[in-house]
Amino acid sequence: MVGAVTDPMTTQAVRWRKWMSGPRAWLRSLAGVPVVVVGLLIWQWQTTRHPVFFLPPPLVIARRLKTDWLSGPAHSLFLSHEGLTAIVQTFQTALIGWAIAAALGIIVGSVLGVRPSLAAFAAPPLLLLRSVPPIAVIPIAIVILGLGDSMRTAVVVAGCLWPILLNAVAAVSGVDQVLRDVAALNHLNPIQTFVRVLVPAASPKLFAGLRVALALAIVLSVGAGMFAGSGGLGGRLLTFQNNFDVPGLWATITVLAVLGAIVNWLLLLVERSALRWNIQGETL
């Protein structure tokens, strides 16, 4: 199928799996710690000696991180009330939109993947729809749905649907014909075949699409907030930019990066337990 995402991160997943198996692997990754520490020291030293307007020293950012984000009580994981609200707004819409796109994309993609003739019909329209950058959808969504959560969710769905769908088509059409024949011989109905044969067999590739889409979902949720000028982490970024509050900007970026990494890591954990049967590296 034209335009299926061949995911660079699939290889990363394999590496992660190797990385996360065994204590020696953890030790090995510690080799990077000195590099990070030295990098931070140089950054701190240089920017305090010659202050750069757009790049404050890491300690200044850390202080801002504490006052802006980590000044809350323990029961909310030390997150401040404002910070928590912004995080929830952004990540809730990102995850809900992503889940909707995943459900739609996997179901439609599987149907197309099982019927190559249907896929031939659908390929050019899908290519057209996929080519519309989700950014261009944001203004339309703002005019129709306003500035709220539903707008951000809609934008996330519109952006994430295509990578998931195209990957699902590629994944399902790549499922061994023998498996499908066996399912037919055992008189599985279409739904049973879908749930018990097609989805498991296609899941390594499905997860690749889901992970690409997850990163995109966060970007779009933040981006929609920025475009709308309100709501979540994107809205905060825009406020900081307008106030020329550079440490505040960097603190927000740090929060986004950490949360993005955590969400991605959680998905990898799910993937790892779901794909335990999969021989390492088969996703390559």
Partner 1 sequence: MNLNQGLRTLLRGLGGVAVLCLLIQLLAVIGPARWEIPNLRQLADEVYHFVMSDPHFVGALLHTMKTVVLSLLVALVAGVVIGIPLGLSSVLYRTLTLPVELLRPVPAIALIPVMILALGQGQSMEVAVTALAAWWPILFNALYGARGVEPLTLQTARVFGLGRRQTTLRVVLPATLPMIVTGLRVAAPLALIVAVGAEYLATAGQGLGGVLIQATASGNLQVLWAAAVVTGLLGLVIGALVWVVGRVVCPWSTEW
Query: What is the Cα–Cα distance from 214 to 267, expressed in whole angstroms?
Result: 9
Nearer to partner 1, 88 or 257 (CB): 257
Instruction: Rank residues 207 and 227 by Cβ distance to partner 1 and give the closer one.
Output: 227
- Minimum separation from the CB atom of position 104 to partner 1 (A): 16
The first and second tokens of residue 31, run together, are 């080799």
Site for partner 1 in 229-258 (CB under 8 A): 233-234, 237-238, 240-241, 244, 246, 249-250, 252-253, 256-258
6 scored as a contact of partner 1 (CB under 8 A): yes
Cβ density class 153-192: b for 16+ within 10 Å, e for less: bbbbbbbbbbbbbbbbbbbbbebeeeebeebeeeebeeee
Alpha-carbon gap, residue 155 to 178, rounded angstroms: 39
CB of 270 to partner 1, least distance (A): 17
Stretch that binds partner 1, among 26-34, 80-88, 189-197, 271-279 (CB under 8 A): 26-34
Q: What is the DSSP string of 226-242?
A: HHHT-SHHHHHHHHHHH
Taking a C-beta distance cutoff of 8 angstroms, is the pair 1, 173 a contact?
Answer: yes
Which one of 80-88, 164-172, 174-182, 219-227 is the stretch in contact with partner 1 (CB under 8 A)?
219-227
Nearest distance in Å: CB 161, partner 1: 14
For partner 1, give the closer residue by CB, 41 or 120. 120
Q: 185 or 279: whose CB is closer to partner 1? A: 279
Between the CA of residue 115 and those of 2, 183, 185, 201, what are the distances in Å? 15, 16, 18, 17
Q: Which long-range contacts (CB under 8 A, 24 or more apart) does 238-241 make?
A: none
Site string for partner 1, 122-141 (x = CB under 8 A): xxxx-xxxxxxxxxxx-xx-
**Which residues neighbour 250 within 8 Å (Cβ) at sequence distance 6 or greater?**
55, 56, 61, 64
**Cα four-point dihedral sign 97, 101, 104, 106:** negative
Q: Which residue has the tokens 């329209």?
A: 125
Smallest distance from partner 1 to CB 27, Å: 11
The reply to whether 222 sits near partner 1 by the rule CB under 8 A is: yes
The reply to whether 143 sits near partner 1 by the rule CB under 8 A is yes
Strand partners, 52: 55
30-59: contacts with partner 1 (CB under 8 A): 30-36, 39, 53-55
Taking each helix axis as running N to C, give the angle between helix 199-228 and helix 232-242, from 0 to 180 degrees, rounded to the nearest 10: 30
Q: What is the binding site for partner 1 (CB under 8 A)?
A: 2-3, 5-9, 11-12, 28-36, 39, 53-55, 117, 120-125, 127-137, 139-140, 142-144, 215, 218-219, 222-223, 226-227, 233-234, 237-238, 240-241, 244, 246, 249-250, 252-253, 256-258, 260-261, 264
